[in-house]
Amino acid sequence: NAGVTQTPKFQVLKTGQSMTLQCAQDMNHNSMYWYRQDPGMGLRLIYYSASEGTTDKGEVPNGYNVSRLNKREFSLRLESAAPSQTSVYFCASSETGKFGEKLFFGSGTQLSVL
């Protein structure tokens, strides 16, 4: 059972380039999330998808777009990368997104924007 799988693990971009971070879960979870992790700032929510077909902004959505492709997959797109988007990105999922649920995280994507 793989859990939450993220690709790629590492990426270097130049300012202005675009890219898509992929995330897939095999636990039949309804809710999926994208977080970014920066030193001294913890984990901040970028976007989430409470269920297939819905997406909502989180705390820091500017510069990002998401697609909930199907129940398994939730992608994060940077249309025009900026150095401020250098970060470690984590995808997570939970069963229904309701109260008191455990979040299952992927192993992260380390992104550098030069």
Partner 1 sequence: GENVEQHPSTLSVQEGDSAVIKCTYSDSASNYFPWYKQELGKGPQLIIDIRSNVGEKKDQRIAVTLNKTAKHFSLHITETQPEDSAVYFCAASKVTGGYQKVTFGTGTKLQVIP
4 touches partner 1 by CB under 8 A = yes
Distance of alpha carbon 31 from alpha carbon 53, whole angstroms: 11
108 touches partner 1 by CB under 8 A = yes
Quickly count: other Cβ atoms within 10 Å of residue 62's Cβ.
9
Site map for partner 1, 49-88, x if CB under 8 A?
-x--------x-----------------------------
In whole angstroms, the minimum distance from the beta carbon of 99 to partner 1 comes to 5
> Which residues bind to partner 1, rule: CB under 8 A?
4, 31, 40-45, 48, 50, 59, 90, 92, 97-103, 105-108
